[in-house]
Structures are given as structure tokens and as C-alpha cells.
Amino acid sequence: MLDSEKLILRIEELSISYQSSGSGFWGNNKEIVAVNEVSLSVGRGETFAIVGESGSGKTSIAMSILGFVKPAAGTIEFNDLNLFSLDSKQLRETRRLIQPVFQDANSALNPRMTVETILGDGIAISDENEKREKTISLLKSVGLSPDFLKKYPHQLSGGQKQRLCIARALAPEPELIILDEPVSAQDLSIQAHILRLLSEIKKTKNITYLLISHDLNVVRILADRVAVMRSGIIVEESSCEKFFSDPTHPYSQELLENSGLIQRA
């Protein structure tokens, strides 16, 4: 396993459940367990992928790391800090180090803000000129030209929007980026470009990725380690090479077969 000093994220016995309002006249509240006592560790600088079908609980884990979903039990430690024991000011500072990139870039960009404001909000520099320089360099780092500064999201193409989202995630100089299905809403040709961009960013900056995906092709390109989730639990965790060459759990084998990445034995 990993060296504990090099850990950036440690999740222990995390459980997440949702209330579903039942149907019927009086309705019955049912509790649905989305994540069931999951533990995992992510090392600094690696790309850790959680794969699974929709409803497996992988997005719930991502949302609780980002602080949008309150877990029923368990702890999440980031840089050895328990995220649930921070006060609101500490939490806001820590949050800047964990940034999300969402699947649907359309809903991830405020339609009423220009590109400059969207990126500017993530930059903690008060000097206007410096801020603008930083904004332009962010745009360049994701392959967008400075001409976009005054544009609104709806004037951008799908691929450009996702690049903008990545730039925004980079703005506060985070240590961990959570990629929630980062390319699955994109056309195939754009997917390749975005994936290449993500690999490049990873190489130049010392950033850790937590990749949430159902697409094993994406996982194979980006990930170092893989955890397979099914119905709220992790059924298999291994290195990327081992997972793709020699999956142990039957469910992993099934996933690989369905994606056409290995032949049925």
C-alpha cells in the first residue's frame, strides 16, 4: 500500500444515505444507502479512478469530499485534516485546494458571467493587472486564447466550455482535482483533446486527480490506480495495469467485457 506521509486523501468507513420520499397518499420515507462503509486512500500526485455504473455510489463519494453531501458515518481526511471537524473559515480555505470538474459544462458555468469573471472569482489576487495576467495565463494553459475574456459561456463551444471549467478548477492552485465524468458529455474528437490536456496539466503541475467514471477507456488513459464500485461498496482495488490485464473480481471482468476492452475468456 501507500506511504502514509504521501497520502493526500484518506477516506475511512464512509457511509452515505439518502432519504427518498415514498409514493402513496401518506408516503413512506425510505432510506437508501448509496455508500456503505467505504475506505480508500489516494497518494499525492497519483490519479485514482473510481469506476462503476450509475447508482454505484461513486459520485456520492465525490460530492461528500467536496462537502456537498453530509455522510451518515465515517471520516474524510485531506492532508491529515478531518474535513468534518473544520470551522467554516478553515473549511473555506481547505476547499480551495480541492476543485471539481463536472460532467456537464453547461450547468457548471454561470450564464450571467463573462469568462474573465468566472476565472477571476477563483484567483486570490486583489491587484487588477496581476489578476488579469493570471487569468490570461490560465486560459492559455487550457488552450484558450485571451480573446475569450469578454465572452459569455453560451458563446463557447462544448469543448471550450469544458476547457474553461478546467481552467477555473486550476485557478486557486488546488492540490486535488475531482474529475466527475470529465469527458463523457463531449464528442469523441473533443474527448481526446480534453484527455490530452488533463494528462499534460498533470505532468506540469503536481496535482492529484480523483477520477470518477463509468468509461473504462478514459480510466485506462488517465488512471494509476482503480477502485471498482458496485452498490455502494468497493469490490476491487488495484493498480491500473493489473486491473486491465488481470481483474480478479467477476464484476470487474464483466465491466471490462462489456466495454470491449478484453475478450471474453
Partner 1 sequence: MNNFKKLISKLWKSTSGRIGLILVALFLLLALGAPLLSPYDPVKQNLILRSSPPSFSHLFGTDLFGRDILSRLIYGARVSIGIGLGSAFLAVILGSAVGLAAGFLRGRTDTVLMRIVDLLLGFPKFFILLLVVGLGSPSIWLTASVLGALSWMEIARVVRGEVILIREMNYVKAATALGLSPMNIALRYVLPNVSGSIIVSATLLIGTMILIEASLSYLGFGVQPPDASWGTIMNQGRIDPLGTWWISVSAGLAIILSLIGFNLLGDSLRDVLDPRTENAQS
Partner 2 sequence: MLAYSIRRLITALPTLFFGVSLTFFIIRLAPGDPTDRFLTPSMSPKIKAAITEKFGLNEPLPVQYMTWAKNVVLNFDFGKSFANGREASQVILDALPYTLLLSSLSLLFGVLLGLISGVYSALKAGTRTDRAITSFLLFFYSVPSFWLGLILLGIFSIELGWLPGSQISSIFHERLSFFGKIGDYASHLVLPVLTLGLTTAPVYGRFVRSSMVEVLNSDFIVSARARGLSERKVVFNYGLRNALLPLISILGTSFPALFSGAVIVEVIYSLPGMGRVMVDAALGRDYPVIMAASVVAFIAVIIGNLLADIGYAVADPRVRIGDSS
Binding site for partner 1 (CB under 8 A): 66-68, 92-93, 95-96, 98-100, 102, 104, 106-113, 121-122, 153-154, 165, 168-169, 171-172
All three cell numbers of 115, joined, read 469568462
Q: Which does 263 bind (CB under 5 to 8 A by kind): partner 2, partner 1, none?
A: none
Which is nearer to partner 1, 120 or 247 (by Cβ)? 120
Which is nearer to partner 2, 19 or 263 (by Cβ)? 19
Q: Which does 250 bind (CB under 5 to 8 A by kind): partner 1, partner 2, none?
A: none
The span from the CA of 50 to the CA of 57, in Å, is 10
DSSP helix/strand/coil, 178:
strand
Q: Which does 121 bind (CB under 5 to 8 A by kind): partner 2, partner 1, none?
A: partner 1
CB of 122 to partner 1, least distance (A): 5
134-143 b/e with 16+ CB inside 10 Å = b? bbbebbebbb
DSSP helix/strand/coil, 233:
strand
Does 87 contact partner 2 by CB under 8 A?
no
Interaction with partner 2 in 6-45: which residues (CB under 8 A)?
A: 21, 23-27
**Amino acid symbol at 81:** L
